[in-house]
Structure 1
Amino acid sequence: MLISLASDRTRIVEIRSQISELESLLAALRDEQATAQQRLDSYIYPILTLPNEITAEIFLHFLPNYPRLPDIDHSSRIHDAVFPTRLTHVCRKWREVAITTPSLWKGLAIFEPPLLSKFEGRLALIETWLGRSGCCPLSIDIIAITGRHHDIVKKTFSLIIPHLARLERLKLILDDFRSVPHISLPMATLRTLELGTLRENDERPAAFASCDMPRLREVVLNCPSSLNVDLPWAQLTSLSLGCIEPDLSFPILQKTLNLVSCVLNFGSDEYEQYTITDYHIKLPCLTSLIVRRDDREMVTGILTAFVVPHLRRLEIPEPFLGSDPIASLKGFVSESSCNCALKELVITNRKVWPTGCCPVTEEDYRAACPSVVDFSSEFISHDDGVSDTSDNSEDDWEDDGSE
């Protein structure tokens, strides 16, 4: 028994000695930890030493290029897309800089939510986004095409209406315009408006019936029903009409006396052939006229309707020039007195015949328009209309992708 007690006393001394050594080692480790933490706490990442103004400028260059807008829900399929809200999640300073930089929040794309349960959170986010934009001009896209979220569109507009005075660009792609509330407030800074609907109807988009838009210059309209909107046509400098029949397009063009650029993309639900004979459209300021077609639409005699003395660029499908493209082109150049102004000519939808030859050569077109410096063409196959960019002609033409 006495021997056991003596052994325990000896062991206690050894344990006390080991504890003392370990406590000394632990203290040394704690001192080293504190020193390392102090160095970390005193270190400032170089990017955080930048002035807030430079950081904000970097943020602005990191966003999608205008007119592409950040999706408010981050639902973009582009994996490297950056949104202002993501910048607020990096660190405290970046959050402060992002929230206090109104230009980061001046553009937003609003898509209909896949689930109605996300609707309330969406509205709160839109309100926050608009509030952070301060006094900056706004650019807004609203895309709701299923026709089942009319209430969402209405409530979204209720948040946007107080900011109409600084709206610079507005894009609406909707099932129809019934969900858009009537807008009577002036849109004094609006310069670009794009409207598109999926439903064929004759309902007038009443939202803009009495809206003052003194700075509106660029308009894009898709679908016939969007033509019913009342707009200040005479002040426009750029107009794009898509999927619209000539009989609906041309009365509008007769009112756009100050157009500089015009894009016409004809189309209809069923194949029809139009021959233009009853229109006289004089556009003294027009420098660019682009005419396109869907797979089946056919419009001939279109150039006979236009008088465009300062036209510099013409793009048109070859079938639209009729059975004698050269005569049509010569008559147009002569009637418009643009024989010296026209510098660029693009002929699309050209046929590549089985022999590899084309009925009309590049020299024929250049002879008809001697002032043209840049000539290009786009071919389709003779059989099925599939684009053919190979070199199939005896004149060594190729499709360079020009528009």
Structure 2
Amino acid sequence: MLNALAVDRARIADLDAQIRDLERSLSVLRSDKLAVQERLNYYKYPVQTLPNEIVCEIFVHFLPPYPICPPPTGPLSPVLLTHICRGWREIALASPALWRAIQISGNDDLVSTFLSRSVLRPLSIHVNEWQQPFDDLAQDFLATLLPHCVRLEYLTLRLSTDFDSPRIDAAMPLLQRIDLALDNYSESPLVVLCQAPLLRAAVLNDCAAASTALPWVQLTSLTLTMMWLHECIPILQKTSSLVHCKLELCHSLIRHSDGVEVTLPALESLTLTDIPNVKEHLLSTHLQTFITPALCKLQIPEHFLGLDPIQSLASFISKSGCNLAPVHIANRRSVPETSYRTAFPSIPTLLFSRAGWRDSTSSDDESDSNLHE
């Protein structure tokens, strides 16, 4: 019995020694851990060392280029930038440039939030009631926007006229471009912009053109869609400063310009087209309506040149006294390409396509081979 107790005492002493060794090892490990943790705590990832101004600039480039409006929510929205971390959320909320382009999609509270966060920055607003009907909220949205009209630079409205829409006639001293489409004719002008000294560009569909009063003489760029030529003429007669013009015309022969001519002395680019996806193209002589001495770029479907396209084009060039380059003949079907080139040797760039053509905003550097037969 005494021998067993002596063995246990020796065993305890041995265990105590092992415990002291392990405790010393743990102490060393804890010390090493503390040193490593201190180094980690001291280290900052390079992105966290960027000045707030640089982070804000990165955020701005994350969004579509202004004045394009990002979606109000989701992966490409500025709201996403507020969900990454607390620091970046603070930067995003304090950056008015992130909230100046607003796509209205049916959330009145979100619109008010964006307007508040944009502070006093100029605004780009896109309202598309056609894409997502607002029902009775439409009036509220427009009412929310009207107090901020003095900040509007770019305005896109797709509106239904089956509600009592408020008339938009506030001063817009910063407005540069308006894109307006209505689904029905309004009994009285819906948009009246008499105080928009910087307005230079307008895009209007047929209903909007009939329901809008603009300072036409200021415009340098005008797009009219879904209209008869005789409907365009009264507007074009007021736009003597136009440099770029695009007309999407109905191609029926029921109504025509009745020989009326429109002189656009500053016009450099003219694009005439007809309604997309129309299968039947009727002959017309729309080009003879225009006198454009400064015109350089012309895009036109061949059936808009009438029965004798070459003679019609030659008559237009002679009457206008313009030097054209390039000229794009679309939907060519009756006159060979070589006949055009022989008839117009002074035009250095003649482009041809069987159906459709580049929009006037497309790059002029695009290869001609894509358009030639």
TM over 0.5: yes
Q: Does 1:145 align with 2:91?
A: no
**1:378 counterpart residue number:** 353
Q: Which residues in structure 2 correspond to 1:163-202 (within 5 Å)?
A: 163-176=148-161, 178=163, 180-197=165-182, 199=183, 201-202=184-185
Cα distance, 1:46–1:333 mapped onto 2, change above 3 Å = same
SS where residue 379 of structure 1 aligns? coil
Instruction: Tell me how far apart the structure 2 counterparts of residues 3 and 143 of structure 1 sit (CA, whole Å).
Output: 97
Q: Does 1:89 align with 2:59?
A: no
1:186 CA displacement = 0.5
Unmatched tracts of structure 1, length 5 or more? 75-80, 113-121, 352-358, 381-385, 388-396
1:363 CA displacement = 3.9
1:345 counterpart letter in structure 2: V
**2:191 counterpart residue number:** 208
* Comparing 319-328 and 241-250, the one that deviates more: 241-250
Q: Does 1:345 align with 2:305?
A: no
1:154 CA displacement = 2.2
**2:265 counterpart residue number:** 284
2:177 counterpart letter in structure 1: T
Deviation string for 1:323-365 (max 9, x for gaps)? Answer: 1100100111111121xx22210000112xxxxxxx4233432
Instruction: Tell me how far apart the structure 2 counterparts of residues 127 and 256 of structure 1 sit (CA, whole Å).
Output: 36
Instruction: Tell me how far apart the structure 2 counterparts of residues 153 and 5 of structure 1 sit (CA, whole Å).
Output: 94
The question of whether the paired residues in 2 share the 8 Å contact of 1:153 and 1:179 is answered with no
CA RMSD after TM alignment: 3.1
The equivalent position to 1:106 in structure 2, one of 97, 100, 123, is 100
Deviation string for 1:288-334 (max 9, x for gaps)? Answer: 00011132453611111111111000000001111110010011111
1:51 CA displacement = 2.6
1:165 CA displacement = 0.5
TM-score by length of structure 2 reads 0.84
The equivalent position to 2:300 in structure 1, one of 306, 313, 316, is 316
Cα distance, 1:182–1:136 mapped onto 2, change above 3 Å = same
TM-score by length of structure 1 reads 0.78
Instruction: Tell me how far apart the structure 2 counterparts of residues 155 and 21 of structure 1 sit (CA, whole Å).
Output: 77
SS where residue 44 of structure 1 aligns? coil
1:226 CA displacement = 4.3
How many residues in Structure 1 have an aligned counterpart in Structure 2? 360
Identity between Structure 1 and Structure 2 (%): 38
Instruction: Tell me how far apart the structure 1 counterparts of residues 223 and 2 of structure 2 sit (CA, whole Å).
Output: 108
Deviation string for 1:50-77 (max 9, x for gaps)? Answer: 2333332232223212442211123xxx
Instruction: Tell me how far apart the structure 2 counterparts of residues 107 and 205 of structure 1 sit (CA, whole Å).
Output: 29
1:208 CA displacement = 2.0
Q: Does 1:224 align with 2:224?
A: no
Instruction: Tell me how far apart the structure 2 counterparts of residues 179 and 38 of structure 1 sit (CA, whole Å).
Output: 66
**2:43 counterpart residue number:** 43
The question of whether the paired residues in 2 share the 8 Å contact of 1:178 and 1:205 is answered with no
Deviation string for 1:257-313 (max 9, x for gaps)? Answer: 111100011248xx6665443321111111100011132453611111111111000
**1:73 counterpart residue number:** 73
Q: Does 1:364 align with 2:349?
A: no
Cα distance, 1:20–1:176 mapped onto 2, change above 3 Å = farther
The question of whether the paired residues in 2 share the 8 Å contact of 1:177 and 1:205 is answered with no
The question of whether the paired residues in 1 share the 8 Å contact of 2:161 and 2:185 is answered with no
The question of whether the paired residues in 2 share the 8 Å contact of 1:184 and 1:208 is answered with yes
The question of whether the paired residues in 1 share the 8 Å contact of 2:171 and 2:196 is answered with yes
1:7 CA displacement = 8.8
Cα distance, 1:125–1:368 mapped onto 2, change above 3 Å = same
1:243 CA displacement = 1.7
Cα distance, 1:207–1:37 mapped onto 2, change above 3 Å = farther
The question of whether the paired residues in 2 share the 8 Å contact of 1:237 and 1:260 is answered with yes
Instruction: Tell me how far apart the structure 2 counterparts of residues 35 and 205 of structure 1 sit (CA, whole Å).
Output: 77
**1:33 counterpart residue number:** 33
**1:117 counterpart residue number:** none
1:174 counterpart letter in structure 2: L
SS where residue 162 of structure 1 aligns? helix
